[in-house]
Structure 1
Amino acid sequence: MFRSNIHTIGVMTSGGDSPGMNPGIRAVVRAGLANGLRVIGIEDGYEGLLNARFKELGARDVGGILQRGGTFLRTARSMEFKTPEGQRKAIRNLNNAGIDALVILGGDGSLTGGMALAAQGVPVVGIPASIDNDIFGTDMCIGVDTALNTIVDAINKLRDTASSHNRAFLVETMGRHCGYLAVQAGIITGAEMVVVPEFETPFEEVATAVDEAYKRGKLHCIIVVAEGAKLNATELAQKLEEMKLGFDTRVTVLGHVQRGGKPTAFDRFLATRFGVKAVEFLLSGQTGVMTGLDGREIVPVPLSQVVSRPRTLSEEYMKMARMLAR
């Protein structure tokens, strides 16, 4: 295998946190050490990169973090980094610290920042971490499975209380631009309707779903709404309540609880695989790429492709959600 002249790698998390980031950091650190590299943790994302918040990480520094949600390196967004001046400052700080390459865990914005650094000669590998599963070039991102399990658990509990009171619950999930979490949760919890940003759902369809559920004698009705949908959960609930379709209507906004919690076994293993591969890619001379899950394999995906388009929601999932809700 080609051996690069990389001796020290930096690892950072950026943007919104997602469960599994800590196992990913751990894998980068220990894979780096196993290959004779120094590993430097960069705290607070790109903001920390601009302010040289660096600390060397050993094997023990990442012990006991597999089961922890969030990111022990912390994360932040930085407007300054988006400027040419900010990027020059970041590269200067990397050079001053002797950091030869960078592994970045984060979503679309974080990977866009990584591409900007790679274009200026910094060896970079990105790792997709986004609970929305909206990153092109990978079947799955770190954190999606954990967030989905959190949503499913919440809906299961809401169904219990909904059935006790003959209520319709509109459950708002995260997903400003992508309805992946909403549609997956809707399918696997048996929701009566899913509303997502990618496909317009007329209010009349939602009202019909609630009306038919009541007429069929159901004791509850669950509508899952992605936060970025044209009709938000609160607006839908107000309109449904005015129509008096039989159910009392309530709204539950799950919010940032979806980002937290212990990462599932799937997320821990995926993050670990991504972290190990990120180091392998760097040592084999591959840069400006992201680790992508393609079936069972981890493959390098050019960052230029990753940030050029969003990952689209399958129309098949929406058809499945409608068909199974009957």
Structure 2
Amino acid sequence: MGKIKKIAVMTSGGDAPGMNAAIRSVVRTCAYYSTECVGIYRGYQGLVEADFINLTARSVNNIIHKGGTILKTARSTAFRTEEGRKKAYENLKENEIDALVVIGGDGSFTGGVVFNQEYNFPIIGIPGTIDNDIYGTTHTIGYDTALNTAVEAIDKIRDTASSHNRLFFVEVMGRDAGFIALNAGVGAGAEEILIPEEDLGLDRLLESLKKSRRAGKSSSIVVVSEGDKTGKNVFELADYVEENLPNYEARVSVLGHMQRGGSPSCFDRVLASRLGVKAVELLIDGQTNLMVGLQNNEVQTTSLEKAIKGQHTIDKELLRVSDIMTI
């Protein structure tokens, strides 16, 4: 790998609060080391179409506090083809770009691994996803902000639940991972938490709600991860409970994409800044095919292949705490 003179940065997959802070960090670290920086609009699709923009330290003024991503993000069917990846490589070489920083999740990293294998092009990944489902880091960029958004929303829903003696099912994001649901549920004092990693089952859910009634609870909050399979979906789950527990008046609230938006928390801004610096320094140092992440509050690296294939497991101790708190 020759000397790195120009680095490109892009955001890919679902947007996450803190992505702009990561872009800012990459750009300013490049400037610090007298390395040119190029932004790629719309992720891999922009790579295929050569939708590039030169970025300087001043180009990223006043974006650290903004949600979303100034570089946009999009799905790319073209990059999934050999022809598309060949065009992407040609665009990089034509613009004299020597290395690439990919900010995204496992799907984005998978594309990076394939591209690196085919063209031996230097790539470093920065984990940016609210799901927190990437192996090799305790926190992904955007996760902390999404958690705070979910807890704030559940707190407000609880006010209504208490006022009307209602049972609320609150669905949070998480796809196949229950990190948001588990932590937001504990933080907001939910009576039950349904996550994909733990099959609670309908019978146990009913028994838990009956127990809450007997304990004198007039209202309840059940936090449901969108990937949970206890019911076909959260609405049918609510209907099932109403049919079997007629004393409960159930309501459903799906928080949806509001969890992706908003100004990133201080934690996410700092995390993004740390990971961006490390990503650029690794490339300048001649390293590639790695993801930067946070472990034991230190920035460490994991191979992109391991980050994709490894499993970030749910915290069993927190599950135990959740069970105790529902007494």
TM-score after normalising by structure 1: 0.97
| RMSD after superposition | 1.2
Residue range with higher mean Cα deviation, 258-267 or 188-197: 188-197
Residue range with higher mean Cα deviation, 110-119 or 241-250: 241-250
Segments of 4+ moved more than 3 angstroms: none
Residue 178 of structure 2 is matched in structure 1 by: 179
Sequence identity percentage: 48
Give the partner amino acid of 2:182.
Answer: V
Does the 8 Å CA contact 1:50/1:81 hold for their aligned counterparts? Answer: yes
Q: Please list the CA deviations of residues 12-64 of structure 1 after superposition, one character each: whole Å capped at 9, or x if unmatched.
A: 00000000000000000000011001100000011111111000011121000
Does the 8 Å CA contact 1:42/1:55 hold for their aligned counterparts? Answer: yes
Residue range with higher mean Cα deviation, 312-321 or 57-66: 312-321
Residue 254 of structure 2 is matched in structure 1 by: 253
Does the 8 Å CA contact 2:136/2:301 hold for their aligned counterparts? Answer: no
Superposed, which structure 2 residues align to 1:115-154 within 5 Å? 115-119=113-117, 120-154=119-153
Residue 104 of structure 2 is matched in structure 1 by: 106
Q: Please list the CA deviations of residues 276-316 of structure 1 after superposition, one character each: whole Å capped at 9, or x if unmatched.
A: 00011111111000001111211121112111233222333
Gaps of 5+ in 1: none
Does the 8 Å CA contact 2:15/2:68 hold for their aligned counterparts? Answer: yes
Does the 8 Å CA contact 1:164/1:219 hold for their aligned counterparts? Answer: no
Q: Please list the CA deviations of residues 48-91 of structure 1 after superposition, one character each: whole Å capped at 9, or x if unmatched.
A: 11111000011121000011000000001112212222211111
* CA drift at 1:245: 4.5
Does the 8 Å CA contact 1:211/1:246 hold for their aligned counterparts? Answer: no
Does the 8 Å CA contact 1:168/1:210 hold for their aligned counterparts? Answer: no
Does the 8 Å CA contact 2:139/2:294 hold for their aligned counterparts? Answer: yes
Q: Please list the CA deviations of residues 226-265 of structure 1 after superposition, one character each: whole Å capped at 9, or x if unmatched.
A: 0011123111100111123422100000000000000000
Residue 284 of structure 1 is matched in structure 2 by: 285
Does the 8 Å CA contact 1:39/1:57 hold for their aligned counterparts? Answer: yes
Residue 54 of structure 1 is matched in structure 2 by: 52
Residue 17 of structure 1 is matched in structure 2 by: 15
> SS at the partner of 2:252?
strand
CA–CA distance in 1 between the matches of 2:80 and 2:296? 33
Residue 43 of structure 1 is matched in structure 2 by: 41
**What number of residue pairs does the alignment pair up?**
324
1:208 corresponds to 2:204: no
Gaps of 5+ in 2: none
* CA drift at 1:323: 1.7
Give the partner amino acid of 1:195.
Answer: L
> SS at the partner of 1:188?
helix
Residue 198 of structure 1 is matched in structure 2 by: 197
CA–CA distance in 2 between the matches of 1:153 and 1:104? 31
> SS at the partner of 1:271?
helix
CA–CA distance in 1 between the matches of 2:199 and 2:297? 33
Superposed, which structure 2 residues align to 1:218-237 within 5 Å? 218-230=217-229, 231=231, 232-237=233-238
TM-score after normalising by structure 2: 0.97
> SS at the partner of 1:56?
strand
